[in-house]
Structure 1
């Protein structure tokens, strides 16, 4: 099968924990008196498009929410395992695993919720964990959240099926959540201030907690917001955690801005960031062409933002949240060698 352009390109995963308001937006070079660091010791005049004179007034702008059924090339999953998951991970009971993953694709219809205003549009998949499928700038077509046009489910998540791209919501046991490939509850809403929202959520069966995520698009701004509610209705304390996984295009000219001076590996070892002991600028995608897949848990500065910038295309993406609500983030990169290429083919 010939893949779409989107599905042929690698994606970088940026994971972060979040509990309150966040904003994801695209960035463009403009002549405004606001500077944001987009690389190590580099300040470039970037600003959210809605902050400049070309933005439409709130009275003229209008946001819309629509629903549709769209046929997407899909590699489905199947074969639920009748053996209780207790034999593999007791923390996930009463979920079961899926053992079947297709090697051939088929056109499958999926429910899609679309939020749009004059500036940007984004799509939500309530039948795939409620994930944000992708987001793009209307005027240029630039995608600031990676949208994979092919739904390839592979055995990666806690109960198996997982597909790349977009922003997924994870609540409960550490890992890609059991709900990440399953239908969740959702409702759409037109708000009094002219913004529109879709609220997705489900119950985490092992903990019996309930999570909700509101994805809100203002009427006159080039960003969208997420707001999280996680409720424990039981009398038992739950030592669980919440994290989100956002995907971005991985191009040679991509430079990430993640404030900090140190990164930690999964076992807890400490390394320099963003320049390592070999003089490589690790925040620049192309300078990671060594070794295998990489995880950077960046620490050392208490800032409220991170982002990325594509030099040749002159645009980027950004995320803002209060540091106390979003205390850390991890940058994950598939290897730039054939090791990563294999996963690119699989996903």
Structure 2
């Protein structure tokens, strides 16, 4: 029986943690990104790589918001999925969670080709916080996991190149202001899922572009790519060239052999076909290949150390097996951004499917064997031909809308009247978050808030800053203008805007908090502490209830205020802030850790140790963060307990 390729809706039920509210405070501090290298290493890189490592690295998360409101209590939750299926493969896509492919199931063999996470558990790995593991994710924007990791994308049916159905995902990436699309289809009787990707630059100037497709697979695999060298990057922040498959006497192509978490960016020769595979001991596994534009290939491993194993448990359920990631990107490494010229685009085609080949033996023999098998089941010419067949369909207008993303793209299209065939950002998708900016665009001024609440998101691109500078200078306008100026690196102007707004603003705490950050970054820690104290006092006076937005604002500002006060040893004021946090906030793991630090600063060492002994889980612990270990070292002489050990690098002796 012939099964025609279909797209259908489905609901997946998983134990899931709630995402909670976003952090309402604009992220003004420098980006906390672990993937950066020392200047000494950059001097030793190939010229083109060094240029791209230094090309417009991201300095700020603005205009994105930090997503840190999630916890670790999981309950059954229904998650909307879109399922593509032919007679060979079944792919489940989650449009409301970054468009991730959660499952790729090969029906003839009954095998899941990906690592399919049995839970939905956010963790602090995305550039803006919340991220989750498993499946195939689409990373656009800048070095790190995309700010869209848990965000909804637009989705619709489109006619595929072979006349069947294709699933289109699209959104507006806000860090670089770039629209992108991901087209997925399954040709009839195909063992391979085709994915066409396009990133556009509609601006009149070049922009930095970044893309990595991240594929989670079970870690009991051997990862194979056509390379004899790789660029190794560990959490010591060193980038160096190493041989493949082995160095220091260890074959690193087996993920469980590495002692610590690490990236291996394979150095693929220019003329070689682009592919990477992960094969189990029995020879079965997954291969990913692409047209040549998608140049880079990478292996990420957690390592066999206690910290890496703890992270594996943290992101899923203990006892369910770990995973590694095989990846494909526009550059050789994830530390680079490529130039996308003005009013241009970049596009490519990827293919994902099963592969059977021997993973064991001498490296050159294994690579040749996999490459020959890939050529037999999916010739390189077929991938190139599929790309050429897809390109005319990339502009096809979507049919039935299957999911709706954000309204930010619609706002930009409204501002510019850009024509973006194939990816409509309809005005009907504009929502409450975009409404003040739509009014600024149409009327030249921001509307006065209808009720007292934390201020909304700030748009910081130059064209929005220009509009804010010519708008009537209301306190709200000055607040947003200051944020945009700060983003541009114009700190002095930002401070002046915030100080002007203080004179007439009905709500002082957002402005005082911004000024406190400015003082902190300028090294004036005492004044920063003063302003944080005043800001928190004003927030506690103004907050109306224990609703999500006020609770999130109180938690976010309280955390920053306590840290600022402890930095200048004002423990009594820090305790006062702590006591005015909502009771439920004080019970969260992050704040239990803060409490332990506060108790230690007050000289109450035994009580601080008791917090550790009682146990806590910091839901938003940052990738690579070592705050728990550092505080433990001040409290105890014994080794850090395993359930607190998230260290991802060798410890200094």
TM-score category (smaller protein): 0.7 to 0.9
Alignment match, 1:23: none
Aligned mates of 1:171, 1:192 — CA distance in 2: 25
**2:230 aligned with 1:260, yes or no?**
no
Aligned 8 A contact 2:22 2:65 in 1: yes
Aligned mates of 1:275, 1:191 — CA distance in 2: 43
Alignment match, 1:326: 294
What does residue range 115-264 of structure 1 map to in structure 2 within 5 Å? 115-191=84-160, 193=162, 195-251=164-220, 254-264=221-231
Residue of structure 1 aligned with 2:262, choices 284, 287, 294: 294
Aligned mates of 2:163, 2:284 — CA distance in 1: 27
State the Cα deviation string for residues 181-219 of structure 1 (Å, max 9, x = none): 111111123537354321111101232210100111111
**2:278 aligned with 1:338, yes or no?**
no
Aligned mates of 1:325, 1:300 — CA distance in 2: 13
User: Which runs of 5 or more structure 1 residues have no equivalent in the other structure?
Assistant: 1-55
State the Cα deviation string for residues 301-325 of structure 1 (Å, max 9, x = none): 333222121123x411111113x31
Alignment match, 1:283: 253
Aligned mates of 1:157, 1:192 — CA distance in 2: 34
Aligned mates of 1:77, 1:341 — CA distance in 2: 24
State the Cα deviation string for residues 260-293 of structure 1 (Å, max 9, x = none): 1111123331111112241x3222334x1x4211
Aligned mates of 1:318, 1:245 — CA distance in 2: 13
Aligned mates of 1:141, 1:250 — CA distance in 2: 19
TM-score (norm 2): 0.42
Distance 1:104 1:215, change over 3 A: same
Alignment match, 1:269: 240
Residue of structure 1 aligned with 2:61, choices 92, 99, 105: 92
Aligned mates of 1:192, 1:231 — CA distance in 2: 21
Aligned mates of 1:216, 1:97 — CA distance in 2: 33
- Deviation at residue 100 of structure 1 after TM alignment: 2.3
More off after superposition, 224-233 vs 135-144: 135-144
Aligned mates of 1:98, 1:306 — CA distance in 2: 32
More off after superposition, 267-276 vs 193-202: 193-202
**2:272 aligned with 1:305, yes or no?**
no
Aligned 8 A contact 2:153 2:171 in 1: yes
Aligned mates of 1:195, 1:182 — CA distance in 2: 28
Distance 1:149 1:197, change over 3 A: farther
**2:31 aligned with 1:74, yes or no?**
no
Aligned mates of 1:307, 1:229 — CA distance in 2: 24
Aligned 8 A contact 1:172 1:204 in 2: yes
Aligned mates of 1:123, 1:335 — CA distance in 2: 29
Q: Aligned-pair RMSD on alpha carbons? A: 1.9
- Deviation at residue 300 of structure 1 after TM alignment: 4.5
- Deviation at residue 177 of structure 1 after TM alignment: 0.7
Aligned 8 A contact 2:255 2:303 in 1: no
Distance 1:139 1:300, change over 3 A: closer
- Greater fraction of residues in helix: 2
Aligned mates of 2:210, 2:309 — CA distance in 1: 31
Aligned 8 A contact 1:75 1:106 in 2: yes
Aligned mates of 1:191, 1:206 — CA distance in 2: 30
Q: How many residues align?
A: 282
- Deviation at residue 61 of structure 1 after TM alignment: 4.6
More off after superposition, 191-200 vs 301-310: 191-200
Alignment match, 2:74: 105
| Larger of the two Rg values belongs to structure | 2
Aligned mates of 2:29, 2:138 — CA distance in 1: 26
Aligned 8 A contact 2:89 2:106 in 1: yes
Alignment match, 2:5: 63
Distance 1:277 1:341, change over 3 A: closer
Aligned 8 A contact 1:196 1:219 in 2: no
SS in 2 for 1:256: strand
Aligned 8 A contact 1:135 1:146 in 2: no
Aligned 8 A contact 1:194 1:219 in 2: no
Aligned 8 A contact 1:85 1:97 in 2: yes
Higher relative contact order (CA 8 A, sep 6+): 1
Aligned mates of 1:195, 1:223 — CA distance in 2: 15
Aligned mates of 2:232, 2:175 — CA distance in 1: 28
Aligned 8 A contact 1:211 1:228 in 2: yes
State the Cα deviation string for residues 120-170 of structure 1 (Å, max 9, x = none): 111000000111112011133211122212111111101100000111111
Aligned mates of 1:160, 1:83 — CA distance in 2: 14
Distance 1:192 1:212, change over 3 A: closer
More off after superposition, 73-82 vs 197-206: 73-82
Aligned mates of 1:178, 1:114 — CA distance in 2: 24
Alignment match, 1:31: none
Aligned 8 A contact 1:172 1:242 in 2: yes
Aligned mates of 2:204, 2:28 — CA distance in 1: 24
Distance 1:86 1:222, change over 3 A: same
State the Cα deviation string for residues 47-80 of structure 1 (Å, max 9, x = none): xxxxxxxxx9xxx452111012332211122242
More off after superposition, 113-122 vs 65-74: 65-74
